[in-house]
């Protein structure tokens, strides 16, 4: 359940108003098209003032599709594993 303020960051997201298809590329449209769409989405993310909040949201909620916080699902999983490993090593 969302608490008030949990997604206030969305208001400042650079992707706001951008066609969401770019952030959820479909391989069915062709591998090349999907790769281009993902690359374009990540370009939008790179200049986003709330990229950290977006990535945190995707990791926290277990988002399995699309580009969030400048990362695709596989990149987010690797990021999450690395973060957990760092926590374990510092404990």
3-state secondary structure of 68: strand
Confidence (pTM)? 0.85
Q: Is the pLDDT of residue 16 over 50?
A: yes
Domain extent listing, the chain: 10-90
Tokens 């990791």 belong to: 59
Summarised one tens digit per residue, pLDDT across range 28-71 is 889 999 999 999 999 999 999 999 999 999 999 999 999 999 99
Q: CA geometry: angle at 74 spanning 72 and 75, to 5°?
A: 65
The pLDDT confidence band at residue 18, using thresholds 50, 70 and 90, is very high
Tracing tokens 């580009």 back to the chain, one arrives at: 67
57 and 66 Cβ atoms separated by less than 8 Å: no
């Amino acid at each position: 359940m969302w608490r008030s303020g949990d997604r206030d960051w969305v208001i400042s997201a650079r992707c706001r108003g951008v066609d969401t298809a770019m952030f959820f590329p479909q391989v069915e449209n062709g591998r090349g098209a999907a790769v281009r769409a993902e690359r374009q989405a990540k370009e939008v993310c790179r200049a986003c003032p709330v990229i950290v909040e977006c990535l945190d949201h995707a990791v926290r909620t277990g988002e399995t599709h699309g580009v969030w916080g400048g990362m695709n699902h596989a990149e987010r999983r690797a990021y999450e594993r690395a973060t957990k490993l760092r926590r374990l090593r510092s404990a």
